[in-house]
Amino acid sequence: MELWNTTDVPAKSFSRLSNCTVDTSYRFIFHQVSYSVIFVLGLATNSLALCRLCQSPCTINSTAIYMVSLSAADLFFVISLPLRIYYYNQKARALSSNTGDPSSWTPGVAYCHFTFTIKYISLYGGIFFLVCIAVDRYFAVVHPLASTLRRLRVAQLVSGGIWCLVLGLSVSLPLLHFAAARQHQPCPLDPSSQHYQTIILAALGLVLGSFLLPTILLLYSYCKVLSVLRQPRHRSRRQHHSRQRNLKVISWVLGIFLLCFLPYHINLLGYTLTHVGLLPHCGLAKVTKAVHPVVMSLASSNCCLNPLIYYFSSSLVHREAPGGGSSGSQ
């Protein structure tokens, strides 16, 4: 359930690539197992992080605001996982039935659009709020006197704006699918159709743009913070520990971001271009289709890894003065 239902692409979409097929029936069991693990871990870790953050309102600052939003976005996805597990369970049962064809069970349009929307709320909510945490650390370290940009009210407005952006993006993608389907097509769209290709490529551009811009901001913030923290000034032990905490937080943000989202978007680009026929390379089509379930689950595991950022940033959340800049530990 991606730009079009990438797990169930119609066979005729491969017509441009002779004998270019690969068996990915493993994805039904793989997704049931991986999503079950992600559901248990994601529900436990994000609920704990959210409770810890909300139980200390007197110490809430800009970092905590973004952490709360990140945990909320993760929980959106976690609570939708039982629906996705059910989806793949039904596909697996259809595959093992007499027909042996997983496409013999097709979910309704409403089901398709709902799970599609929830997935992108989490995916791009996770991306944008990870970048917010990195940029917050950037201002705390590189411009510590610019306290206005880290005030509680500003962080709340930024967080609210990002929620509107994420919801707009998440709703627009199913609307593109709905426009392509013309209310009669279920989840799968045929990428060999010229009409559907336009919709698919428009969605791909929207998705990649929503990934590339945050990536640039994140890399810039990381490089600037690393440059400042390597300077020999402010050698007191307290400031040294604070600098190390900031570096650890932004390093975890960058590591989780690249580990979870970079493989997914690179594979999605190759997968889409080969299947719409713009890049008729059989080997690439086979590889991207074969590894797609893996990178999709890797991107989904982001909701289990994000609470680690709270673990490393908890001292910053509870030690910095609420409502403004640092308390002198930057």
Q: What string of DSSP letters covers 1-38?
A: --SS-GGG--GGGGTTSTT-----THHHHHHHHHHHHH
- Which residues are CB-neighbours of 104 under 8 A, at least 6 positions away? 94, 97
Judged by DSSP in three states, 106 sits in coil
Q: How many CB atoms lie within 10 A of CB 220?
A: 13
Q: How far apart are the first and last CA of the chain?
A: 44
pTM value is 0.80
CA distance 87 to 197: 25
State how far Cα 110 lies from the chain centre.
22
For the chain, state the CA radius of gyration: 22
Judged by DSSP in three states, 235 sits in coil
CA distance 217 to 207: 16
CA distance 68 to 82: 23
State how far Cα 252 lies from the chain centre.
15
**Candidates 3.20.20.70, 1.20.1070.10, 3.40.50.720, 3.40.50.970; CATH matching 43-319:** 1.20.1070.10
pLDDT in tens, the chain (330 residues): 455 444 454 444 444 555 677 888 888 899 999 999 999 999 999 988 888 877 765 567 888 889 889 998 898 889 889 988 988 888 888 777 755 666 655 666 677 777 777 877 888 888 999 999 888 888 888 887 766 767 888 999 999 999 998 888 777 766 665 555 554 555 555 455 566 677 778 878 888 998 999 999 999 988 988 888 777 665 556 666 677 777 888 888 899 999 999 999 999 999 888 888 788 888 888 899 899 999 999 999 999 999 888 877 766 665 554 444 443 333
Please report the sign of the dihedral spanned by the C-alpha atoms of residue 113, residue 118, residue 122, residue 128: positive
| Vertex 178: Cα angle to 173 and 181 (nearest 5) | 130
